[in-house]
């Protein structure tokens, strides 16, 4: 079990390895809702906040984590052999295990959104029931999900699946008759596939893997939805 002294040592070592050893270091564990780490440069000091979910990691792994953060902060691409060893130790952390820990922390500390599926033009709960009924073979065995409108009309994310709470969130911007009902059904269909398919790990984390994409094409109006995505919307679906 690592304490904040270990974390301070890890950040100090990482700073020296990237040529920033002259800067003051302030590093601490923080009870984030998920497995999150942040770093900022302010008034000549590097300030790091690392999820306390990492306090089970050893010093070498923490140093690799600090290095990863500093390389992004200072936009460093090439590092020496010693630094690479620390970074490799951090990268060895099993992706699936890390993601599982992240979700576990979110379930314990995060807050589920208030369930509000009722919009001015569309009732998401009824659309969810329709998608499940119309595609029962695709979603056989998928557990109960809740569905809500996002609090704000997001343009960056059309919809997303929050696995920590088994919840689909659809951007409020689509509560408009400017968008056909089949397109909202497609968004729901896509997010339900995230509930069905596990994320795959190899060289990198794969969310939309071949099995996912194969199922996605089973949506009855898939090509129409894709056409609308490419010609009328600017954001990717996640």
Cα R_g (the chain), whole angstroms = 22
CATH fold of 124-232: Zincin-like (3.30.2010)
94, 201 Cβ separation under 8 angstroms:
yes
Q: How far apart are CA 60 and CA 172, in angstroms?
A: 44
Residue 110 pLDDT more than 90? Answer: no
Angstrom distance (rounded) from CA 233 to CA 159 = 13
Per DSSP (E only), the strands in the chain are 24-30, 37-42, 45-51, 146-149, 159-162, 167-170, 200-201, 205-206
Residue 201 — very low, low, confident or very high, per pLDDT cuts 50/70/90?
A: low
Q: Which fold has domain 4-109?
A: Zincin-like (3.30.2010)
Task: Answer yes or no: are the C-beta atoms of 2 and 65 closer than 8 Å.
Answer: no
CB-based contact 47:40 (threshold 8 Å) = yes
Q: What residue spans define the domains of the chain?
A: 4-109, 124-232
Mode of pairing for the β-strands spanning 167-170 and 146-149: parallel
Kindly indicate the confidence band of residue 113, based on its pLDDT and cuts at 50, 70 and 90.
low
41, pLDDT greater than 60: yes
- Does the pLDDT at position 34 exceed 70? no
Give dist(CA 201, CA 215) in Å, integer: 19
How do strand 205-206 and strand 200-201 relate by DSSP bridges?
A: antiparallel
* Residue 188, pLDDT score: 96
| pLDDT in the model for residue 111 | 59
Task: Tell whether pTM > 0.85.
Answer: no
124-232: same fold as 4-109? yes
Which of the four pLDDT bands, split at 50, 70 and 90, describes residue 143? confident
Helical H segments across 92-209, by residue range: 95-109, 124-134, 181-196
For range 107-121, the mean pLDDT: 71
Cα separation, 131 vs 221, in Å, equals 12
Q: In what order do the strands lie in the sheet with 24-30?
A: 24-30, 45-51, 37-42
């Amino acid at each position: 079990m690592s304490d904040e002294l270990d974390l301070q040592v890890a950040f100090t070592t990482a700073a020296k390895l990237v040529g920033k050893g002259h800067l003051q270091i302030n590093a601490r564990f923080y009870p984030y809702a998920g497995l999150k780490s942040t770093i900022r440069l302010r008034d000549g000091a590097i300030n790091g906040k690392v999820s306390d979910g990492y306090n089970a990691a050893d010093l070498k792994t923490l140093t690799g984590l600090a290095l990863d953060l500093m390389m992004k902060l200072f936009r460093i691409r090439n590092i020496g052999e010693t630094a690479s060893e620390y970074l490799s130790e951090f990268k060895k952390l099993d992706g699936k295990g890390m993601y599982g820990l992240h979700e576990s922390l979110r379930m314990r500390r995060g807050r589920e959104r208030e369930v509000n599926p009722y919009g001015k033009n569309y009732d998401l709960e009824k659309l969810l029931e329709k998608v499940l009924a119309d595609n029962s073979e695709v979603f056989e065995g998928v557990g109960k999900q809740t569905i809500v409108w996002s609090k704000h009309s997001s343009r960056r994310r059309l919809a997303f699946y929050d696995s920590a709470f088994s919840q689909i969130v659809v951007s409020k911007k689509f509560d408009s008759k400017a968008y056909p009902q089949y397109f909202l059904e497609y968004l729901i269909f896509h997010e339900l596939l995230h509930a069905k398919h596990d994320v795959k790990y190899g060289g990198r984390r794969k969310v939309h893997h071949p099995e996912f994409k194969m199922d996605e094409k089973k949506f009855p109006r898939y090509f129409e939805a894709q056409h609308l995505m490419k010609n009328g919307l600017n954001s990717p679906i996640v």
